[in-house]
Structure 1
Amino acid sequence: MKLESFYSNLSIKYKFIIFYFSIILVLALLFGTFSYYNSRKYVFNSANRANSDKVKQITTSIDYLRKDIYDVSTIICLTPSIQKFLRNSKNLHHATDFNNDSQELIDYIIASKSYISLIIIYNAQGFPVYYKSSDMSSGAKSLNSANEAAIYKKACALSGKPLWLNINNHNQVLIEDNKSPKIAECRVIKDIYTMNNMGLIVICVNEREITKLFSNNIKKGENISIFDNHHVVLSFGNQMVANTPITSTLKKDGNTDYGYFVKKLAGKDMLISYSTSALNDWIVFDSIPAAQLLKEINSIKSFSIIVVIACIIVTLPLTLLISSYLTAPIKRLLVSMKQFQQGSFDERVEIKYDDEIGKLGAGYNRMVSNVKDLINNVYVLQIKEREAELNALQAQINPHFLYNTLDTIYWKAEKQGQEELGEMVYSLSRLFRLSLNRGKEFTLVSSEKELIEHYLKLQKVRFKDKLNYALLFDDEVMDYILPKLILQPFVENAILHGLESKKMGGFISISGKKEKNSLSFSIEDNGKGMDEATLQKLLSLEPDDDSNGPIMRSGYAVKNVIERLNIYFGKDYRLNIFSKVESGTRIEIIIPAQKFLTNEEVSHDQTPYRGR
C-alpha cells in the first residue's frame, strides 16, 4: 500500500519514466527467458541424442556379456560329469575337486572368459561343493543362513532363469572374504532326468570388468547406473543417483524403452537418459548435472541483464526529454490554475494541439470564462437582492395599514352591534397575520391550528349548515414546529372539491398527534371524493397551466406544499392521499418532530389581534 501510494503521488513525468523502464525490463526479461528456455531445450535434446546413443551401446554390450555368462552357466549345468557329481554329493558339506573332465572344463572357462572372477557350485543341501576364484576372494558361505537361504529360494522360484545380485561392502553374501565388488548370476541346477533342483551355480563378474565397457566415455559429474526392477545393479561415477528410485518415474511416464527426463537429485537437476535391455529386466541410466550442460547458455542471462542496463542508460536522456515535452502543457495548466485560485479570473492557457491535453486546456479555458460570467451574474443578483430587501422594508407599511383598517372596521361593527361582522373581520385579520407569519418559513403547530380555525370560521359564514368541522390536535404537539401553510391548502381543497358541490354539505376533521419521532396530521372529509385521474391531475398541475377554476387554484397550492416539503425534509416526510368517489378523501402528512429553533426561524405570535 505504501509503494502504491508513493507511486500514485509522483508527478506524471516520473510516472511515465517508471512505466517506460518497466516496459523495457519486462520485455527484456521475457526475451531472455524465452531465449534461455529454448536454448535449454536445444541443449537437452542435443545431449540426449548423444547420451542415448552411448546408453544404447552400453546396453548392447552388457546384454552380450549377460548372454555369454548365461551360456557359460548353461554349459556347466548340463555337463554330465557335474550332474553326476551333484547327484552323489548329498552328504558332502565342503568344497572338493571335480574329476579331471569337469575341472578342465571350468579351468578353460575361467581362462577364456577373463571377466569371470569366481564360480561357486552348491549341492541341494546348500553346501558349497566347488569353489574357484581368480581375484583372491576366498570362502563360500553355505545357503543355510538367512540371507543366503533367501537367495536360493528366489533362484528356485525362477526355475532356471538367472537371478542377478550385487556383492559388495553393502551386501556381503555368498563369499566370506570378497576382495572386490561383483555382479553375480545365480541359477538353480536341475537334474536333466527328473528336473528336480539339485544345486545352485554362482558366476561372478567384477564390476571393474563391466565399467571397462564405458568408463572411457564418462565425463566429470556423469553417472552410469544399471537398475533391475528392484534395485541398483551397478553404479559408476556420480553416486547421488545410486539410491534414487528412478525406475518409478519411468513407470509413471508409461515409457520404459528409451528416452530422457529431468529429475532433481540431491538438490540438483539431472538430465537422465535411459535405455532398456533387450532381456527386458535391466535399464541403463546415464545421468549428468543439468547445470554442467547449461554452462554455455548461462551467458544468455548475463547478456539479458547487460541489454537491460544498456537500454536504460541509452534511453534515459531521451525518456527525460520526451516526458518533459509531454508534461510541459500540464505544468502550464497547473500554474494557470494557481493564478486562478488566487483571484486572477482572466487566466487562459495557450492551446497548440488538439490532443487530450489540448482538449483539457480548452475545457479549462471554458470553465474559467463560465466562472467569471457566473461571478459577474451573482454580483448583479446580489445588487438586485439588496434592492428587493429595501423594497420589502418599504412594503412593510402595507400590512400595518391593512391591520389598522380592519381594526377600524371591527370597532365600527362592535359599536353598531354587528357582532357577526366583527367576528368575520377579526378572523380575517388573524388569518392575514398568521399567513404572513412575520416573513418566517416555520411556525408553531398551535399557530397553524389557529389559522385553520379562522379560515373555517370564515367558510362557515359562507356555507352555514352545509359545513361542519372538528379540530382534534393533541396538546403535546402544540409547541412543535412545521412549515407554515402546509395544512390549510388541503382543508381548502376538501371544501372546494369535496363539499361545495354536495347538496347536503359535509364534515371535515383535522387532527394532529405525535408518533414516536414524527408529527402526524390528517385532513379527512366525507365529500364527493376523487377518482384516480382527477387525483393525478391535481398533483401534476404546472404553474403555467392556462386553465382556471377552483381545482386549478387549489391544485397549485397542493403542488406548492409538496415542493416545500421536499425542500425542507427531503425523504424524511410522507404524504398519503386516499380518495374514493362519493366516499370522501383522507390526507396524511407525516414530518419529523422538531421543537426548538431560533427566534429568527419561527414566529411566536400567538396573541389574538384585537386592534391597537
Structure 2
Amino acid sequence: MQWNDWRLRTKMAVTFTSLFVVTAAVLGGLTYFHMKRDYTERTLDLVDASLAQMTITLDLYAKDMERLSLAIFGDPIIQRIMRQPTSDYGVQYDNNEITHRLVQLTAPWPHIQGVYLFAEDGRLFNLSKGGAPSNEYSVKQEPWFAKLGDEVEPSMFFWPTGPETMALRDPQLVFSLIRPINDFQYSLPGQRLGYLKIDMSVLALKSILLGSERGDDALPLRYMLVDEGKNVLYDSGDEWTGRTMPDELAEAATVPEGSANWAGTRYLFSSNRSDYSGWTIVAIAPHADVVKQSDKIRSLIVVAIALAIAVVGAASYVLASGISRPLAALAKNMKRVETGDFKVRANDRGYRDEAGRLSRGFNLMLESVDRLIHQVFLLELREKDAKLMALQAQINPHMLFNTLNIMKALSRKQGVHDVADMAENLADLFRYSMKGWNEPTTLEKELENVRHYVRIQEMRYKDRFKFEADVPDSLLRLQMAKLSLQPLVENAIFHGIEKKIEGGSVRLEARMIAESSEANGVLDVEISVADTGPGMPEELVDRFNRAFRQDDSVAELEQELAMEGKSGIGLMNIHKRIRLLFGSPYGLRIESALGAGAKITIRLPNEAETGREKG
C-alpha cells in the first residue's frame, strides 16, 4: 500500500512518531553533552574552591613557621650562646640551655622533625627526633648552603622535601625552613652568628591537604604540592614526594585548570598558587571518574527516550483519529458566527493538538471581540474623567498660587513683613516651577530662583549660614536644565549646614574650563555648589560618580539608595535630565571627604541660545 493510500490517522501517527524520534534523539544528545560539560565545570569549580581554602591554610601554616623561626632567631639566650664561643659553664651547659629553649618553643608543633642551629665557629646545637648528629657535621655539607652565597641573600626560604640530612636512624621525608641568624646586639648589628634549619615532616602537609577532602562520594583526587622549581613537596599518591614533577604534568603548575595525558591516562587538573610561599597545589583526577556520573545520566536518557517513543506512537494514533470530529464542530460554530451570534463557543476539551488549539483560538477570538466592544465603552468614560482631572490639575496650582499672594498682601497690611517676604519668595518659587520645568532655561533665571529659595532659608536659619554666588555676567545666558541648581543648594543646606551646630557657608560658582567636548573648540562651563558641612563617605562619593559616568548604572544606584533608605534620587534626576538635554559627557560630579565639606559640579556646554537634545 502506497503512502497516499494510507488513512489520515495512520499518516499523522507515523509522521508525529518519526518527528518525535528525530527530535528526541537530537535533544537527548544535546542534553547529555551539555550536562556532561556542566558537570565537569561544576566539579572543577568545587575543586578550585577547595584548593583556595587549602592554599589559605598552607599560607597560615608557613607564616606560623616563619614566626617560630623569628622566635628562635631573636631568643636572648640563643643569641648570647651563639654570639660567645663558650660560656663559663662549658659547652655541655650551652647545649642543655639551648635544648631547653628549643623544647619550650617547639612544644606546640607535633610535626617538627628537627631544629638545628649552626654557629659560625662550627658548633652545632639541635633538637631532633632522629638522634643527635655528629659534632663534626658542617653547615657547608647542607645542600641549601650554596644558595646563601648569592649576591642577594634571602632572609628566609623554604627548602624542598627530601630525606633528613642529619638523622642517625630512619631518616624521614621533611621540608625545611632556612634562616640566617644575625646578631641583635647594638655594638655588632647584623653580624652573622650562624644559621637555623627547621625540618618539618611531610605529615604536616598531608594533614592539611587530605584533611580537607570531602566525603565518600567525592572524586578520587590526587594532590601534589609543588614549589617554584617544580619540586614536589608532597604527593598524596606517595610516588613523587621529594622528586621533580613529571614533565607531562608540568603545565598543571602554571595554569589554573585544564587536562593532560599522563602514563596513558587522561587527567583533569586544577591548581592554585600561593603568592606568599610560591607553592602551587595541583589536584588531578582521571577524566573517566569525573564523567562517570554523566554516563549514568546518558543511560537514563536513552531509556527515557525509548519509553517516550512507544507512548507517543500509541498516543499519536489515538489522538489523530479524534481530530476530524472537533474540526467539523468548529466549522459548524463558525457558520453561526457569520449570522452574528458572538455568544457561541467551541467545545474545548483541553486537548493540545491542532484541533484543540483551533478551538481555544476560536473561543479567544470571540472573547476578544466582546472585550474590545466593552473596552471602547470604558475608554469613552475614561476620556471624560481624564478631561475633568486635567481641569482639576490646573485649578489646584492656581488656587495655591493665588492663596500665597493673598497671604503676602494680608501680611504686609498687618505689618508682618517676614511672613510677607517668605510668602512672596515662595510664590516666586512656585511660579517658576509651574510651567515648562522639563524645558531648558538660562543660568540667570536659575540663579534668581536660587536666591528666592535662599531668602526663605535665611529667615529659617537666621545667621547660621552664609550664601555666596560668583557668576560672571558673560555666562548668565548659558542654557541649562530647569530646576537643577536649587536642589543642589537645598542639598548643601540640609545635608551640610544643618548638621553643624556652628553653621557654615554655601558657595555657588560658575566658570569656563580648559576642556571642550565640541568640534568647534568652544570651552565647556562648570557650575559648582560647595558647602563647609561634614562631608560624605568616600565609598558613597565613588558610587555616585561611577553611576554618573555610566548612564546605565543610574537606575541601579537609585534602587540601591531607595532600599538603603538614603537620599540621592534628586541628584540622579538632575543628572539624567542634563544628559537628555545635552548628552555625554555633561552631567554631575561630586567631590567630598568626611570632615571636608562637599562640592557638586555640573558640567555644561557653553550654549547661549537654545538647548539641544542628544542620545
- TM-score range, shorter-chain basis? 0.3 to 0.5
State the TM-score, normalizing by the size of structure 1: 0.39
Tell which structure's C-alpha radius of gyration is larger.
1
State the TM-score, normalizing by the size of structure 2: 0.39
